[in-house]
Chain A
Amino acid sequence: AQSVTQLGSHVSVSEGALVLLRCNYSSSVPPYLFWYVQYPNQGLQLLLKYTSAATLVKGINGFEAEFKKSETSFHLTKPSAHMSDAAEYFCAVSFPITGGGNKLTFGTGTQLKVEL
């Protein structure tokens, strides 16, 4: 079975500081990995995804993530936090299901707080 684990349910950083949100995966096959962001009372918005084309993936809003097979990790980073980055972040792994679809299995989420 495939799964993801997000370490740290809450992360707090100062504005301008580095953001690091951790995600480790478990998969018996090469994984497809996603990071989504959820702002209050909104749905999930894709930040970036890893599909084996490149290990360093750049996403929207200055975020990027690096796939490290040896560490089974896909951590999300941003060099300089902005107040608008405060939200909940979800790591997810995708795998095929009956009928040609793909099911996302999500981590438990990390709430990012950005302080002045």
Chain B
Amino acid sequence: GAGVSQSPSNKVTEKGKDVELRCDPISGHTALYWYRQSLGQGLEFLIYFQGNSAPDKSGLPSDRFSAERTGGSVSTLTIQRTQQEDSAVYLCASSWGPSGRVADTQYFGPGTRLTVL
């Protein structure tokens, strides 16, 4: 079946512009996660959705970052007024589990490579 998809695969933007990154999880997966992979910080958790709610936003690095999820499916990560330090690969993952379980496998998408000039 189809895996997690993300778009765009690459995004180049100018400092100060806003960007939107999209994630389409595996059908039926209720949990959705965003992570960031950068040279300096490695892989970092950003935010977790259960359905359309985001009970854990603790990893968002600043108030310029926001995310939403609609219809219990597609999620959009928005970065406002981008900075050069936002350059990274943004990975989305989804997992089964209506209530979430610690051992649940997270399935990752291919990522969006964001470059801020």
Which A residues fall within an 8 A CB radius of B? 32, 34, 36, 41-46, 49, 51, 90, 92, 94-109
Contacts and interface: CB of A to CB of B under 8 A. Distances in A.
A103 B49 CA distance: 11
B103 A32 contact: yes
* SS of A interface (majority): strand
Contacts of A100: 31, 50, 55, 97, 99-101
A98 B56 contact: yes
A91 to B, nearest CB: 11
A60 B53 CA distance: 33
Interface residues of B, number: 31
A32 B93 CA distance: 17
Contacts, number: 82
A73 B84 CA distance: 37
Contacts of A109: 42-43
Interface of B: 4, 31, 33, 35, 42-43, 45, 48, 50, 53, 55-56, 58-59, 91, 93, 95, 97, 99-111
Given A97-B48, A97-B56, A98-B55, A46 B105 contact: yes
Nearest to B104: A102
A43 B48 contact: no
Given A42-B110, A99-B55, A108 B42 contact: yes
Contacts of B108: 36, 43-45
Contacts of B103: 32, 49, 51, 94, 102
28 contacts: A43-B4, A43-B91, A43-B108, A44-B91, A45-B108, A46-B105, A46-B106, A46-B107, A49-B103, A49-B105, A51-B103, A90-B43, A92-B43, A96-B102, A97-B55, A98-B48, A99-B48, A99-B55, A99-B56, A100-B31, A100-B50, A100-B100, A101-B48, A102-B100, A102-B103, A103-B33, A104-B33, A109-B43
